[in-house]
């Protein structure tokens, strides 16, 4: 794999830390700012909605720029946004800073996915996307547990200051390693790009992504209270347990990419089935500390096994004009799912049936995603027999 892919992974690492670390600090943020746990959870929804809004806007605005310039500009926004989070004096200022930071997220992964697939052979495209997203998984196995520990030891603001430094480092690595010659802007017009987004298979691909990831984040947003209040772990134990989640992410991400390179459609459908099973049975596993830890790892694996297949599926449906825009929209779809899941989990906790029901409610969402994916395949039946490197 080219070194440029590792540079993209470095940027993904920084973005992954800032997106996910807040989950391990929900209790600290809620206490410090005097808000409820469910209100603190909406900082995750706010970030996700920032991605949803920022992805199409920034992708369109920077469509004529060289892709390397786009990536560097996005890392600059990310770095300044995290500095603003660290200095935020109250809840709403923190929310605004999180939203600004999130603007960089969708376009970075959308443009980065297109750059990644252009750097490798056709039969390695899903693996190239998975390698870039490995930055997210490493963020979870190293960055998030360390950030959680740092926030608990020195205050949550210290975590965001540390992430600011990560952003500076990622900017430098992208500047050094991503070749400008490989990142020329697309030669397409906005009308053609938007027409791609109106294709039924592309729209159904977005809907599949939203529903699948809503199930993940309905649970993961509230992983700290689930582990402390249901499984009986101490707050200090949450950070080490997140290491297990990170390990699952790495395994699931790489496996999902490998499988999607060979069997794209089965990897999409199979990963959604596995995700629904893990979420549903986690309802019972949380009452045993040993099983809770195992299932945290399984949740990570099942969650990220869907990422490369779903992203590659949308890229292939949007093949031709507008790939960057469609790719960014699918990243926005992941984060719309994040926001919806965090909101749904908060509703279940605050208004019933309660915290212990979050997992089985979440399991219904990837099942719905499976139904949408099946509809997309039915509409696209003529391409089902083609190999994954075609429009499968």
Average pLDDT over residues 19-31: 82
From CA 66, how far away is CA 16, in angstroms rounded?
Answer: 24
pTM for the model: 0.72
Looking at the structure of the chain, the number of domains it has is: 1
pLDDT over 70 percentage in the chain: 92
Average pLDDT over residues 342-346: 87
- Is 308 a member of any domain? yes
C-alpha dist (Å) from residue 69 to 227, 329, 358: 42, 20, 42
**Sequential DSSP letters for 37-68:** HHHHHHHHHHHHHHHHHHHHHHHHHTTTS-HH
Average pLDDT over residues 155-169: 90
Q: Higher model confidence: residue 51 or residue 140? A: 51
Helices 200-220 and 358-379: angle between axes, nearest 10 degrees: 170
CATH (domain of 337) = 1.20.1250.20
Spatial CA neighbour of 116 closest among 130, 100, 105, 102 = 130
pLDDT over 90 percentage in the chain: 21
CA dihedral over 223, 224, 226, 231, signed as positive or negative: positive
Q: Each residue of 46-66: pLDDT tens digit?
A: 887 888 788 788 888 887 788
From CA 246, how far away is CA 134, in angstroms rounded?
Answer: 10
User: Residue 227: pLDDT above 70?
Assistant: yes
- Is 388 a member of any domain? no
pLDDT band of residue 293 (cuts 50, 70, 90) is very high
- Is 333 a member of any domain? yes
Q: Is the bond into 193 cis (omega within 30 degrees of 0)?
A: no
- Is 228 a member of any domain? yes
From CA 257, how far away is CA 309, in angstroms rounded?
Answer: 7
Q: Which domain holds residue 77?
A: 3-383
Q: Is the CB of residue 119 less than 8 Å from the CB of residue 242?
A: no
Residues 142, 359, 278, 342, Cα dihedral to 10°: -50
Give me the pLDDT at residue 278, please: 94
- Is 208 a member of any domain? yes
Give me the pLDDT at residue 282, please: 92
User: Residue 392: pLDDT above 60?
Assistant: no
- Is 392 a member of any domain? no
CB neighbourhood size of 180 (10 A): 10
Q: Which tokens in the block code for residue 72?
A: 């560097």
C-alpha dist (Å) from residue 28 to 14, 31, 41, 230: 21, 5, 12, 19
Give me the pLDDT at residue 368, please: 93
Q: Each residue of 91-138: pLDDT tens digit?
A: 999 999 999 888 888 788 888 888 887 777 777 888 888 888 888 778
**For the ranges 27-36, 100-109, 281-290, the one whose mean pLDDT is highest:** 281-290
- Is 389 a member of any domain? no
pLDDT band of residue 336 (cuts 50, 70, 90) is confident
Stretch among 182-191, 226-235, 269-278 having the lowest mean pLDDT: 182-191
- Is 242 a member of any domain? yes
Give me the pLDDT at residue 157, please: 92
Q: Which tokens in the block code for residue 318?
A: 């949007």
């Amino acid at each position: 794999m080219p070194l440029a892919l590792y540079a993209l992974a470095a940027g993904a690492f920084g973005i992954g830390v800032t997106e996910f670390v807040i989950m391990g600090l929900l209790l600290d943020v809620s206490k410090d700012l005097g808000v409820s746990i469910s209100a603190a959870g909406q900082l995750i929804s706010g970030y996700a909605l920032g991605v949803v809004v920022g992805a199409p806007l920034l992708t369109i605005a920077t469509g004529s720029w060289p892709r390397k310039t786009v990536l560097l500009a996005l890392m600059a926004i990310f770095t300044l946004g995290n500095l603003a989070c660290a200095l935020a004096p109250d809840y709403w200022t923190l929310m605004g800073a999180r939203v600004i930071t999130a603007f960089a997220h969708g376009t970075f992964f959308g443009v980065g996915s297109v750059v990644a697939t252009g750097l490798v052979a056709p039969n390695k495209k899903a693996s190239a996307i998975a390698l870039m997203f490995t930055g997210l998984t490493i963020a979870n196995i190293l960055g998030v547990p360390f950030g959680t520990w740092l926030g608990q030891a020195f205050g949550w603001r210290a975590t965001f200051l540390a992430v600011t430094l990560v952003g500076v480092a990622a900017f430098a690595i992208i500047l050094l390693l991503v070749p400008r010659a490989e990142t020329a802007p697309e030669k397409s017009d906005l009308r053609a790009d938007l027409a791609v987004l109106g294709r039924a298979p592309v729209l159904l691909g977005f809907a599949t992504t939203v529903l699948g990831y809503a199930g993940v984040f309905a649970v993961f947003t509230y992983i700290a209270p689930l582990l402390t209040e249901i499984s009986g772990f101490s707050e200090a134990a949450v950070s080490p347990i997140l290491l297990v989640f990170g390990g699952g992410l790495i395994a699931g991400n790489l496996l999902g990419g490998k499988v999607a390179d060979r069997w794209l459609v089965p990897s999409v459908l199979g990963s959604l089935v596995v995700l629904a099973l893990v979420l549903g049975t986690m309802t019972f596993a949380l009452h045993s500390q040993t099983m809770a830890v195992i299932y945290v790892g399984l949740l990570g694996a099942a969650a990220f096994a869907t990422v490369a297949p779903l992203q590659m599926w949308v890229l292939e449906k949007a093949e031709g004009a507008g790939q960057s825009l469609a790719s960014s929209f699918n990243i926005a779809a992941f984060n719309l799912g994040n926001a919806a899941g965090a909101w749904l989990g908060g509703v279940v906790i605050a208004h019933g049936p309660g915290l212990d029901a979050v997992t089985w409610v979440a399991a219904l969402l990837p099942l719905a995603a499976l139904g949408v994916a099946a509809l997309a395949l039915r509409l696209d039946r003529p391409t089902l027999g083609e190999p994954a490197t075609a429009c499968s």
